[in-house]
Amino acid sequence: MASFATQVIRLSLKAVSAISPAAAGELAFRIFCLTPNRKPKNGKERTLLKAAAPLMRQSRKVTLSFAGGWVSARHFQGRGGGGGPRVLLTHGWGSRSDYLSAMIDGLLAAGAEVVALDWPGHGASPGRSLTMPQAVRAIDAAWRHFDGFDAGIGHSFGGAGLACAAGGVLCDVPARVPAKLVLVGAPSEMAWLFKGFGTIMGLAPAAQTAFEGMVERLSGRRVEGFDAARVLGALRRPVLVVHAQDDKEVSADHARRYGAIGPNVELHWANGLGHRRIVSAPAVIEKIVAFLGESEERARLRKIA
């Protein structure tokens, strides 16, 4: 059964749609982009933040500006003299870079230099809304500030954001393509999110069209153009996709869609870890570190074998 808040929003959108489907679509989009309260929701999240604090204090806070706003990032120098890859790390919807502390620690231990980005409306970044065009612009800002990245690692929305940025989906932002990409529990396209939200909210067809049309108004590209799997299929860069078949937030079908792209994509199942625990699992972190350290020739030979 839908929550009371959802029922109220449905009724409100229905009333607005009866007068103006376009206005209903615009209102639905504003609700869709609204980010959750960034305060810890429970004791578990408070414990995670407290545990992450010592590691986060080892970083340098960086402000990254882009057209329409700015975001905060944490810059961690590699341990042991560095020399490892420079990695851009992006979190999922409703999360923050602090919750990726186990991943950050594992990458630093392997000698990587890490830049952990907080999306607009998340963590230390301002705002209360987030769109994919904003995410692509934030990635571009990080790329310009740090003069590029050897690898990008993204969880959930963060993975899709990295893929879309690599595909140059915005006409005024150049494609930002790292040598390797890692997508953890990431959706393979944005259209399914819009269809699903429209269904939950009971949007009439005309209002749904207006809702999806907001993407084109913001980016110049239809929502179908934000297709991460199609982007990676065209790039042919080494990609590691990590997903759990028991993921209840992003269906494993998205991972299979990535896996069907071609030999440049390695699909690794991390079953039993769901959607959130997967980013801090030691076995997953070890797999990612190994992938980043693997040469392209070794990867090619292993796939042939």
The CATH number of residue 257's host domain is 3.40.50.1820
Domain shared by 216 and 292, yes or no: no
163 in a domain, yes or no?
yes
- Report the share of the chain in percent with pLDDT over 90: 89
151 in a domain, yes or no?
yes
HSE-CB for 85 with a 13 A CA cutoff:
22
Q: How many Cβ atoms sit within 10 Å of the Cβ of residue 126? A: 12
Q: Are strands 113-117 and 69-76 parallel, antiparallel or unpaired?
A: antiparallel
Q: Is the pLDDT of residue 301 over 50?
A: no
Dihedral sign of CA atoms 282, 241, 100, 60 in order:
positive
**Domain encompassing residue 118:** 55-190+226-304
Confidence of residue 305 (pLDDT cuts 50, 70, 90): very low
- Domains: count for the chain: 2
Domain shared by 142 and 219, yes or no: no
pLDDT of residue 102: 98
The region of weakest confidence among 60-64, 205-209, 298-302 is 298-302
Write the CB contacts of 281 (distance below 8 Å, at least 6 apart in sequence): 270, 273
pLDDT in tens, 149-181: 999 999 999 999 999 999 999 999 999 999 999
pLDDT in tens, 115-162: 999 999 999 999 999 999 999 999 999 999 999 999 999 999 999 999
Domain shared by 288 and 165, yes or no: yes
**Span 6-31, average pLDDT:** 95
41 in a domain, yes or no?
no
Q: How many Cβ atoms sit within 10 Å of the Cβ of residue 194? A: 22
pLDDT in tens, 231-268: 999 988 999 999 999 999 999 999 999 999 999 999 99
pLDDT of residue 1: 54
44, 45, 51, 57 alpha-carbon torsion, rounded to 10°: -170
User: pTM of the predicted model, to two decimals?
Assistant: 0.94
HSE-CB for 131 with a 13 A CA cutoff:
17
Domain shared by 159 and 20, yes or no: no
Q: Is the pLDDT of residue 303 over 50?
A: no
Q: Is the pLDDT of residue 196 over 80?
A: yes
Domain shared by 247 and 161, yes or no: yes
50 in a domain, yes or no?
no
Q: What's the CA gap between 68 and 293, in Å, rounded?
A: 36
42 in a domain, yes or no?
no
β-sheet bridge partners, residue 113: 86
Residue type for position 143: W
Q: What's the CA gap between 36 and 84, in Å, rounded?
A: 35
Residue 128, classed as helix, strand or coil, is coil
pLDDT of residue 294: 79
Mean pLDDT of all residues belonging to the chain: 93
Q: At CA 209, angle to CA 203 and CA 215, rounded to 5?
A: 110
